[in-house]
Amino acid sequence: MTRPQAVPTVQVDNERVIVTEWRFARGAETGHHRHGYDYVVVPMTTGPLLLETPAGQVTSELVAGRAYYRSAGVEHNVINGHDGECVFVEIEFKTAPGA
């Protein structure tokens, strides 16, 4: 099945962090990837995301403004699971504070 690609826009990329805005049209996906850094996601829209993981498909309900944290090593394909556009900001931490 071919899906449209989510659109990443890097807003900050320096020695400490990468901040990326992700925009997903209906049904769009990131493609399978593995996170190399710890990260925080700040949803800008509310609705379900479908996650294709090594353990199977999982639904994650995003709520606008309700951030969440994940450790490096997460592997998944992220798919917009609702009818409207899905938008979130992802903040990846390249270094630990004080490192």
- Where exactly are the structural domains of the chain? 7-93
How far is residue 37's CA from residue 15's CA, in Å, rounded to a whole number?
Answer: 13
What's the Cα-to-Cα distance from 59 to each of 11, 70, 76, 79, 94, rounded to whole Å?
Answer: 27, 16, 12, 10, 27
pLDDT band at 23 (very low <50, low <70, confident <90, very high): very high
User: Does the structure show a pLDDT above 80 at 1?
Assistant: no
- pLDDT score recorded for residue 69: 97
Find out if CATH 2.40.50.140 is the number for domain 7-93.
no
Tokens 């609702």 belong to which residue?
A: 82
* Category of 27 on φ-ψ map: left (φ > 0), alpha (ψ -120 to 50) or beta: left
Length of the chain: 99
* pLDDT tens digits, one per residue of 38-73: 999 999 999 999 999 999 999 999 999 999 999 999
